[in-house]
Copies of this chain bind each other. A is one copy, B any other.
Amino acid sequence: MESASSPDSQSGTDRNAQPTDSEVKDLGTSGSMSRVQDNPLSAPSGRRRQKSAVRMSDVAALAGVDTSVVSRVINGDERLLVRPETRQRVLDAIDRLGYRPNIAARMLKTSRTMAIGLVIPDFANASHAQIAIGAEQRANDAGYILLVASGAAEHRLAQLHGRVDGLLYAIATGDPAAPVQLPEGIPCLLVNRREPHLGPSVIGNDEASAEVATQHLIDLGHRRIAHLVVNVPLDTGNRRTAGYLRAMSNAGLPVPPELGITTDVDEIGGYKATLELLHREPRPTALLIATSRWAMGALAACDELGVRVPEDLSIVAFSDTPIGEFMHPALTTVELPLRAMGVTAVEMLLRLIDDEDVADVELDELPRLTQRASTAPPPPD
């Protein structure tokens, strides 16, 4: 309740403004006002909705059959032999009455929801959006609906319990000391992160991608290559760092005392981090950047300091949206298989739902580097 700030209090002109993302998260978790209403177990207290009013028994009555026949017609139960004409009567009755099965009753009886959940930290993150797109597609093909929820992981995971048959989550914590409480008895799969203590996972080829990107810079002649890393403990960043280090080490290049710099996930983070990097001595001649949003911030920082890209500084970024192509200069990027990750995640989850075992998956698509205008040989020393 202390959050009197209007929901859109972002001050567009101030680059040092608090990231609006954290506002949202804080608001989301600061509940706990009245403990009775906040009881996470309690049932809705409101009035009852009027419901669709037409039940299966109505259909059965109109068709002159038992509800079991209706049910079997609807669900295509091949065990039952139903005469075509009866079947047609049932279908007609369904149509006449506009009957829709009651999902809750079906869930209760079958303990199947035909939905799968995707929990993400933030709707405004392009990577999650791409993952969601892939996941939604695959889920749909399998007859499931994908339900996306965002916010504090524990709350969402708990709230989704019972509403979905399985859960994908791309949450931002790798801290085993304060583990996320996963809902029990429901298949869960971690996507775009690998935290063994949190269950099976699907990830991209981050290490190879980072290596390819770094190698590209090395091939251009760069030696002082900095690496922007997100400031929350995510293994995704660690894997990229590993690829970066491998490329550096393979080339016999010294790794800077500080590999890179950690910061927030939005444009401002990239902006601030780049400002700081550009003030270091010796100044790096190339940057490996994790997201498109960061790259935007980095370009803005360069612009502000009069650092030319790519003449003075080369930039490679991981691409989570097509936006890099339209930046100025157009960004050299490594594509991340985010949609494929969403697709694969759902496939794995479906297997988990069917009680099959799954092993961790690392997508093995070859990293694709798209060279554009933001990379060039380093300036003469």
* CB proximity to B under 8 Å, residues A283-326: 293, 296-297, 299-300, 303, 319, 321-326
If A5-B178, A41-B94, A152-B3 touch, whether A328 touches B328 (CB-CB below 8 Å) is: yes
Copies in the complex: 2
B residues near A196, Cβ cutoff 8 Å = none
* CB proximity to B under 8 Å, residues A89-106: 94, 98-106
Q: Smallest CB-CB separation from A165: which chain B residue?
A: B49
Chain A 52-86 per-residue mask, 1 if CB under 8 angstroms from chain B, else 0: 11000000000000000001001110010000000
Q: Verify if A359 is at the interface (C-beta below 8 Å from B).
A: no
Chain A 240-279 per-residue mask, 1 if CB under 8 angstroms from chain B, else 0: 0000000000000000000000000011100100000000
Q: Verify if A160 is at the interface (C-beta below 8 Å from B).
A: yes
B residues near A137, Cβ cutoff 8 Å = 7, 24, 27-28
A residues at B contact (CB < 8 Å)? 1-8, 10, 12-13, 15, 20, 22, 24-25, 27-29, 31-32, 36-53, 71, 74-76, 79, 94, 98-108, 110-115, 121-124, 126, 128-130, 132-134, 136-137, 140-141, 143, 145-156, 159-163, 165, 171-173, 178, 180-181, 184-186, 232, 266-268, 271, 293, 296-297, 299-300, 303, 319, 321-328, 330, 333, 335, 337-340, 342-343, 353-355, 368, 370, 372
